[in-house]
Amino acid sequence: MVVSVSLGSPAREDGAVDASVPPSSSVARRRLRIALVLLPGAVFVALLAFGLLRADGPPAPGEVAPEFSAELLGDDGGLALADLRGAPVVLNFWASWCGPCRDEAPLLNSAAERYGGRVHVVGVNVRDSRPDALEFARDYDYGFRSVVDADGRIYDDYGLTGQPETFVIDAEGKVFQHVQGPFLSEGDLFGQIEGALGRDG
């Protein structure tokens, strides 16, 4: 038995060629045109999805630290990150209910004392009650300013997932280092600060 395979237009049962069905080459060209039309849209959607996923994460070293302006904890007025431009910033996210924050507090005080005038140490108190936060700052004798982030807006802008977390920001406002969890020694913290100072010449 011989099977005949036709690559042209299909035939109807009566043997006539069905002109309503395009040849296979036309189908291929049509599919190619559709793909070329859809491709830019698919690329745009992929890039948009990547951007949204990236926006949820913390800024990486070399990226500009997100700006913020917030009320000071325990003082009148507020503080804006942009106002600190010109010197490195140690931006520490903390809360009174955070156990590791207690262990880290003396190290941050040491940094504020050692580098005062050359480096700004700034705390961001996250989703805390004001009385508890003030008591914590008094108990641990915080020698640096903190801002209030009661609704977690700054925390979310920095893409964080826990406390404590710290960003060392250089004098130009770019992230030098992001440290998840507490600093364990003065050497760890001071090393990051010296690195940011060295970058600034």
Q: Is 132 a catalytic residue?
A: no
Catalytic residue, from 73, 90, 101, 160: name it. 101
CB crowding 153-184: b at 16 or more within 10 Å, else e: ebbebbebeebbbbbbbbbebebbbbbeebbe
Catalytic residue, from 65, 70, 79, 98: name it. 98
**Any idea what the Cα angle at residue 128 is, between residues 85 and 125, rounded to 5°?**
15
The CA distance from 113 to 169, in Å, is: 18
Q: Is 171 a catalytic residue?
A: no
The CA distance from 125 to 134, in Å, is: 10
The CA distance from 158 to 51, in Å, is: 15
Residue type at position 21: V
Which of 55, 65, 56 lies closest to 196 in space, CA to CA? 65
- Paired strand residues for 147: 72, 124
Per DSSP, the chain holds a count of helices (H) and strands (E) of: 5, 7
Q: Catalytic positions, please?
A: 98, 101
